[in-house]
Structure 1
Amino acid sequence: MHTIRLNLPQQAYDIAIAPGGIAKLGELMSHLHLGKQVLLVSNPTVFQHYGENVIASLENAGFDVNSYNLPDGEQYKTLASIEKLYNIALENHLERAATMVALGGGVIGDMTGFAAATWLRGINFVQVPTTLLSMVDAAIGGKTGVNHPQGKNLIGAFHQPKLVLIDPQVLQTLPEREFRAGMAEVIKYGVIRDAELFAMMEQCDRLDQFQYLSKNLLQEILVRSCQAKADVVSKDEKEAGLRAILNYGHTIGHAVESLTGYRIVNHGEAVAIGMVAAGQLAVNLGLWEQAAQDRQLALIQKTGLPTQLPTEIEINAIVDALQTDKKVKAGKVRFILPTKIGVVTITDQVPSEQIHQVLQQM
């Protein structure tokens, strides 16, 4: 088991990367001095694979477990779903020492975390991510929330988990499209912070399916990505400055997601599109070389992720949607733009005509 410690002023917690770790969840949680009540939140697909094993692990460690499955999909990441969790928490008399455990991808993690953050003004929360995307990104750092029809994650709270348990073996049952979506976030870490990770992935012939990654490369991807996220969050827990670099590719990506109703492209696909756009903006503004953009484009294509805008979206609609992004400050849209592989800059000085030009090219 490889453990990364995320140290924050108010709380520290472990990110445990452990093959077969789901069977050890109860044991790991028993050392955290939590109450005995647990509400396990998942979706039907993930629960069918791993729910009973998780419940057995928790019960063997002395926890009193109830479970609830929310529907699967970004379109269900709403306040209506959160209300269902509140109702279940009320029915099961969840007290302040209780813990909500999220077993699933980023959608389940975000919703469970938000419910935990707001039930009784905050109860314990544990993340057990089951997608590559949630393992390397969504489960770490305490961002929780739900979508508003006008934008992604506009309603939310920071609520750090007590533990993040990553079991790489669960990726064997992950659909190929969801695996590719996670690779978008891994590429993001390479561009913003880890040129060596980026180069490692360039050496791999195929990155579009779990089976093409060696155990060593998968371990490097998980450890390096989680370490990068932990390092950034430990320096800037609530996105006052540095943490904004984690939004590389997300500015335009979030607009693409919301404008397609969270049904046409998934989060990772949208981020891939957003990274292509951000890279081209950086080239046009003279911030990085076309050769670096070509490397990024080639790596994204190697993962089987999209590099073009969906035909259903109008460019003006994307530009308008950017104004509702939660990263807008004083009416200016902030972009994370690369200057070289492994280094990015934060700017709100991107002319709208440049945005239009890049989007038209895509």
Structure 2
Amino acid sequence: MKTPLARRSTIHQTPSVDRIRLAAVPAQHPYVRAVSDPDTVTVLPDPLPPGAEPGRWWPPQVLDEGWLVHNAARFDVLHLHFGAESYTPEHVAAAFAAARRAGKPIVHTVHDLQNPQLASQEQHERMLDVVVPSADVVITLTDGARAEIAQRWGRDAIVIAHPRLGDAGERLPIGNSSSVITVGTHLRDLRPNIDAVGVASTLVRAVAGLRAAGSSVRATLQMNERVRNEDTAMLVQQIVAEHDGIDLVRGPRLPDEQLLAALADLDACILPYAYGTHSGWLELCHDLAVPVVGPSVGHYRDQHPAEYARFDIGDPVSLAAAIERATTPAWSRPGSAARAAEVAARAGARESELAEVRAAHTDIYRSLVPRAAA
């Protein structure tokens, strides 16, 4: 595994004796909590939006001009991760201008060059045109995204790998042994970038082809009980209903423990994305040593290229070939000694990686805050 320090641009590292006070958007997101070193960074809690129930961070008040004016003395650095889509690009531009007037540096991590929550990317692209050129430092997760950022905005982004988000001491499942090869995909709540119909149609034909050739492969499609488009959900059910070797499981959103167990039972996980940039789901599969079969879009493959088998939605031959490639390594088998050893090895590597990811963020913050220099 490449270390994040080896994959990022060189920045000036300044020793510091002070803690950095960070206004992160959003503060309580698992990714933000993971990359913020608790020994060097104090993350301000998310301000509660007017009238919102406790625990809700959106729309993010930190990106409001008025909040920034009245709270500038409470933080040293503003770091935007997610949530800008709650506002117009003009609103965020005004917020950034307020931060500038207060002398506060701005960091932006480009997680999504395409927003998976939006069907139309027009406003997201306008938002990126405001945020990326304006930030003092731009971070992203992969070399491919870095190249796209350079091409679109002329910015040299710092690449810092996506860390493990779970607790370091958490014992991950290795799955249950099975006599068949089990692949699966989770359509979740059918958010806009999930091509549920395309993936279901491609998968049933790929599985049929593999089984006709003598493979024991079976496939599982999971989908939340509550979805954004019930007509699409019913169409997926119809596509799957008449085919052997493929099951549709629909139910409540799985708690984390049950989700980990379900993923660990797979020989390979299929990503159902029609577009996008990076995937936290892919990182979860990496930690569980579950090979990923994913689309040839975005920069998903750059996250863990050695274990990513590409296919094209609508092309069952490419999906069948990708499934065969993904399930070749011995560690792809759930419940096996090879899977257990791979999960353990990755856990150790991830612990070291997390320390480097946190140090990289702290280095960036300290390079931007003159008063923190010793």
Q: Considering the TM-score relative to the shorter chain, is it more than 0.5?
A: no
Of the two, which has the highest radius of gyration?
A: 2
Query: Higher relative CO (CA 8 A, sep ≥ 6), structure 1 or 2?
Result: 2
Q: Which structure shows the bigger proportion of residues in helix conformation?
A: 1
**Could you state the TM-score of these two structures normalised by the residue count of structure 1?**
0.30
